[in-house]
Chain A
């Protein structure tokens, strides 16, 4: 690693290498080492997370960079069982950016904050010369109050079941289809959505969640690989059970991608004990954002630290962390 390439931001292997060799090495501490979606602070009462948004194009079917910026941070909090409360919002804008577009983006942030019941309490604005950033970059940082303790990607147990909350790959596929030069037309929309309402319902139903993570960059395959390593377990998934819509399949066929590696912005993966899985599935299916939820596999001890895909015809293969530059900027 001599210079940074786009592959270092892919949410996969190169990305992990960059983080562990440079940032984790310098900032090393107990909280950071947990490598969760959000840091757990103040004796387990608060969740704390930050994320920057650089998606291109900034407006796309199903959402825009504003909605994404609120969902992204709030979802990271929700994934630790925390109710999103306070956000900060920093914006870097390229000179020449249209005010009308900015108004639209901010309006969609406001709308999404309401869904989460969160407020922006501090902010910053910078304007930079043309070419210094691509249109607009947004950073949000959030604090949430933990409603269910103990959710962690570090203690998944053998025989735990693995669920996804939605059909996968829609965000990554949508961004790719709307990218300049690709010129695909589809009715596909990003799955971008706030997940706190879903998580709240799970918690309110008394369901004990083992691990929860939204499958953003790197997709479901990145989440499962991280979990398998962090919990020293094998995750086995059944190819037939993974929900993927036709259009996402079409884009994967056209461009040679795997839906498992495509980004999502309103879809999570959940690990849960097998005694509770049916109840959780029932709750998920009652909510619009997660009505396509499916059990896709389970934790086992077959190949520790690995993700194994079982095909419908009885063969098996590993699902690896995505490598290389898969996609344009997607979040």
Chain B
């Protein structure tokens, strides 16, 4: 058998000829559609791919993308960003988080602002790097501000495992892990929802398996194709969805089969279950309160929970986005970023008013950054 080279895993799925060929097949297949279809890419990584590679420019007129809520930084409500900000300014605290959090402003400022006020904020490449920081700063409390969807949750769980096994006594956790299926359900349950099909997230699905999307096919009658992040993956997945419509099917498919299985990574799932349970409520920026859509530490690990330990200084009032912001409509597919009155004017990546402008993976930010040359 032919040997696979590492380069093939990149270039092979970005090959211009392949994209051209898939575009032809897609154009042909889309001609047979008897109605326009709206496909939601749930994940911010896909939004990024679509805008970066200009895939929206390759689509036939009767296929449209709806940009989903799958950017964990974007959907973090301001009050939780404020938690990070306030914790970082506590005496003898080092706040550790992933680089994505750096620019995100809460109501008081971003972590970048906190740092310029003297807060010790560290950005790590890997959660495990937190251990080194803890060892070098024994007299300080290290708070790991954990963010991310199912993709990133097991890495926080792995850090928890290390902390507990090695009895590291100066690392604490502020957990903001959220899950994908619940907001999808909320969007579908909405009256004016225009979603006809889904492109399922790549790396969330590596961990969870494609099984978490089963309900959308069986209960909501919406086809789902789990896609990789490369442009060829996305084109191939759209083609598969259009084929399903033309053949009157509604199935759960895995396009990203080189990395995703139906069951997912069972070891990672087990580790998550060991430390986390569902939180009853979590307020999503742009979408509002969604029951059971986030995780929290199990009661037996309350002694590591910075949210409990510092509860006296962490406010819980809800802080809404600007009333002109239409991010909710954008995620439901009722509006596009450039339909928004404040887009690119009062709302920019450096001063976002709404969730979709917050991180580079948000729809508004991607539109702003890459422009809409259509």
A23 lies within 8 A of chain B by Cβ: no
Contact A312 B16 (CB under 8 A): yes
Contacts of A6 in B (CB 8 A): 112, 115-116
| Cβ of B346 under 8 Å from chain A | no
Pick the interface stretch among B50-58, B158-166, B194-202: B50-58
Mask: chain A, 301-331; 1 = CB below 8 Å from B; 0 = not: 0010010100111111110100111000000
Most buried by A among B53, B113, B231, B373: B373
- Identify B54's interface contact among A13, A303, A311, CB under 8 A: A311
A325 and B129 contact, CB distance less than 8 A = no
Q: Does B212 reach chain A (CB closer than 8 Å)? A: no
Chain B minimum-CB-distance residue to A319: B370
A313 touches B370 (CB 8 A): no
Interface residues of A in 254-288 (CB under 8 A from B): 255-256
B115: which A residues are within 8 A, CB to CB?
A: 5-6
Closest chain A residue, CB of each to CB of B22: A313
Q: Which of B47-72 contact A (CB under 8 A)?
A: 51-55, 57-58
Query: Are A318 and B370 in contact, with the CB atoms below 8 A?
Result: yes
Q: How far is the CB of B344 from chain A (nearest CB, A)?
A: 11
In the assembled complex, A106 has its CB within 8 A of some CB on chain B: no
Partner of B10, one of A253, A256, A306: A253
- From 310 to 344 in chain B, residues with beta carbon under 8 angstroms from any chain A beta carbon are none
- Return chain B residues, CB-CB under 8 Å to A4: 116
Q: Contacts A318-B373, A324-B349: A7 and B57 contacting too (C-beta < 8 A)?
A: no
Taking the complex as formed, is A3 at the interface, i.e. its CB lies under 8 A from any CB of chain B?
yes
Are the CB atoms of A324 and B103 closer together than 8 Å? yes
- Residues in B whose Cβ lies below 8 Å from that of A5: 112-113, 115-116
> Which one, B16, B360, B373, contacts A316 given CB within 8 A?
B373
Which residues 86-122 of B sit at the A interface, judged by CB distance below 8 A? 102-103, 112-113, 115-117
Residue of B nearest to A256 (CB): B360
B350 touches A14 (CB 8 A): yes
Q: In the complex the two chains form, is A317's CB within 8 Å of B113's CB? A: no
Pairwise interchain contact A323-B350, C-beta atoms closer than 8 A: yes
- A129 in the interface, Cβ–Cβ < 8 Å? no
Cα A5 to Cα B112 in complex, Å, equals 7
Q: B81 → chain A, closest Cβ, in Å?
A: 15
Contact flag A320-B112 (CB < 8 Å), given A181-B129, A325-B103: no
A3 touches B116 (CB 8 A): yes
Any B CB within 8 A of the CB of A182: yes
Measured between beta carbons, the chain A residues less than 8 angstroms from B55 are 315
Q: Is the interface of A mostly helix, strand, loop or mixed?
A: loop
> In the assembly, what is the distance between CA of A12 and CA of B218, in Å?
49
- The distance from the CB of A252 to the nearest CB of chain B, in whole angstroms, is 11
Query: Are the CB atoms of A308 and B103 closer together than 8 Å?
Result: no
Whether B32 sits at the interface, judged by CB under 8 Å, is no
Write the chain B residue with the least CB distance to A324.
B103
> Which residues of chain A are near B124, meaning CB under 8 Å?
181
Query: Which chain B residues border A253 with CB–CB below 8 Å?
Result: 10
In the complex where A14-B350, A311-B54 touch, is A317 in contact with B371 (Cβ < 8 A)? yes
The listed residue with most B CB atoms (<10 A of its CB), out of A5, A253, A315, A325, is: A315
Bound complex: CA A14 to CA B52 (Å)? 22
- Please tell me if the beta carbons of B116 and A13 are within 8 angstroms of each other in the complex: no
B373 and A313: CB pair below 8 A? no
Contact with B51, one of A306, A314, A317 (Cβ below 8 angstroms): A317
Residue-wise interface mask of B (22-45) relative to A, using a CB-CB cutoff of 8 A (1 in contact, 0 not): 010000000000000000000000
- What residue of chain B has the Cβ atom nearest to residue A181's Cβ? B129
Residue on A with the closest CB to B20? A313
The chain B residue sitting closest to A258, CB to CB, is B52
- A4 to B103 Cα, complex, angstroms: 13
From A14, A317, A318, A325, name the one whose CB has the most chain B CB atoms within 10 angstroms.
A317
**Cβ-defined contact, B350 with A311, below 8 A:** no
Contact with A along B127-145 (1 / 0, CB 8 A): 0010010000000000000
Residues of A contacting B57 in the complex (Cβ-Cβ under 8 angstroms):
314-316
Name the CB-closest residue of B to A12. B350
Please tell me which one of the listed residues B54, B129, B360 contacts residue A315 in the complex, with CB atoms under 8 A apart: B54
Which of the listed residues B55, B112, B129 has the most CB atoms from chain A within 10 Å of its own CB?
B112
Nearest-neighbor residue (CB-CB) of B23 within chain A: A313
Of chain A, the residue at the smallest CB distance from B369 is: A320
B356 adjacent to chain A (CB < 8 Å):
no
CB < 8 Å: which of A14, A256, A308, A315 contacts B58? Answer: A315
**Cβ contact within 8 Å between A323 and B113:** no
Q: Are B125 and A324 in contact (CB under 8 A)?
A: no
- Over the window 6-21 of chain A, the binary record of Cβ atoms lying under 8 Å from chain B Cβ atoms (1 yes, 0 no) is 1100000110000000
Shortest CB distance B229–A (Å): 11
User: Which partner residue on chain B sits nearest A320 by CB separation?
Assistant: B369
- In the assembled complex, the Cα of A277 lies from the Cα of B49 at a distance in Å of 34
CA distance A7 to B112 in the complex (A): 8
B58, A13: Cβ atoms closer than 8 Å: no
Chain A positions near chain B (C-beta within 8 angstroms): 3-7, 13-14, 181-182, 253, 255-256, 303, 306, 308, 311-318, 320, 323-325
Other 11 A-B pairs with CB < 8 A, given A256-B360, A313-B231, A315-B54: A3-B116, A6-B115, A6-B116, A7-B103, A7-B112, A311-B53, A315-B53, A315-B55, A315-B57, A317-B371, A324-B350
Query: Could you show 30 A-B contacts with beta carbons less than 8 Å apart?
Result: A3-B117, A4-B116, A5-B116, A6-B112, A13-B350, A181-B124, A181-B125, A181-B129, A182-B125, A256-B360, A306-B371, A311-B16, A313-B23, A313-B53, A313-B58, A314-B58, A315-B58, A317-B54, A317-B371, A317-B373, A318-B373, A320-B368, A320-B369, A320-B370, A320-B371, A324-B102, A324-B103, A325-B102, A325-B103, A325-B112
